[in-house]
Amino acid sequence: MHHFGVEVSWKVPTGKTEMEFRDMQCEEDRIVSSVSIHTYTHAEGTVNLHFVSFSEDTVIVTGFGPFGDHKINASWETVKLLPSLNIEEEFGVKLIIHEIPVTYDYVAENVPMLWKEHEPMLVVHVGVSSLASGLTLEVQAHRSGYCRQDTQGKVPPRNEISSGKAEVIQPLFDVEDVCKAVHKSNIRVPTCCSADAGRYLCEFTYFTSLNIDNLRTAFIHVPVLNKPYSAADLAEGIKAILRVLIQQLRARQQDNCLNNDVCSVKSV
């Protein structure tokens, strides 16, 4: 998303109060621009608004490359199907997918760069777990305890993430509500929550993004392919999760709008 400050003037529609007019700005069908009002003045029926506009809502979804016994990583095989599922058209977002090599150095350097380059509204990391029997949403990530070597035979210095201060970070999404909502969507793959993301590259990546913005970060573990769910099954499940996450974000934006902070609404 590209941010820019602008001051514009609109005529208050006849018969509308200033507050009613501001509320009208929250009724956009697509979030292709969000309005964060800083100052406004009345002058002969004109409202002057200074706002920050976001050109587009960007959603980044990542999967991981091969490692260990996972010569074909179910997470990337699933994620790379997402562009074919009409997510951009249905949700009104720009979808970016990215494959992450299973190395600590790559994550530490490149995940923050993804955030900086794209300024996304949402980042969802997807990893594979041999223990998963369905789609598993992780509810927390730890800063330390990364003792397992990556595909380059390395571990992080002191087995921890140097950029973090908190030992544990949780997303601000209501993860249990996400699971309940996805259950109602009648997807084939079951969904559950987990408090153990594995203390490997999955959790390392999750913490890295949560440390940047836990308001806009989520992590999903998928099971090994075809036991019994195909990549297509899992991709449909992730699409359903994305729908709910975006709904939660936009509901939060709507609440901000009603509090005269940010105007942006979209139904998906």
Return the ∠ at Cα 174 (arms to 173 and 180), rounded to 5°.
Answer: 130
Catalytic residue among 221, 236, 257, 263: 221
Please name which of 8, 51, 20 lies closest in space to residue 264, comparing C-alpha atoms.
51
Catalytic residue among 26, 118, 125, 202: 202
Phi, psi torsion values for 104, nearest 5 degrees: -65, -40
Catalytic residue among 77, 138, 203, 236: 138
**Strand 46-54 relative to strand 168-169, pairing:** unpaired
**String of b and e for 179-194 (b: at least 16 CB within 10 Å)?**
bebbeeeebebebeeb
- Complete DSSP assignment for 48-79: EEEEEEES--EEEEEEE--BTTBSS-HHHHHH
The residues, any chain, with a CB within 8 Å of residue 200's CB and separated by 6 or more, are: 146, 148
Is 88 annotated in the active site? no
Indicate the residue type of 70: H
DSSP H helices in the chain: 18-24, 74-79, 87-91, 104-118, 175-183, 201-212, 231-258
Is 202 annotated in the active site? yes
Is 167 annotated in the active site? no
Catalytic residues: 138, 202, 221
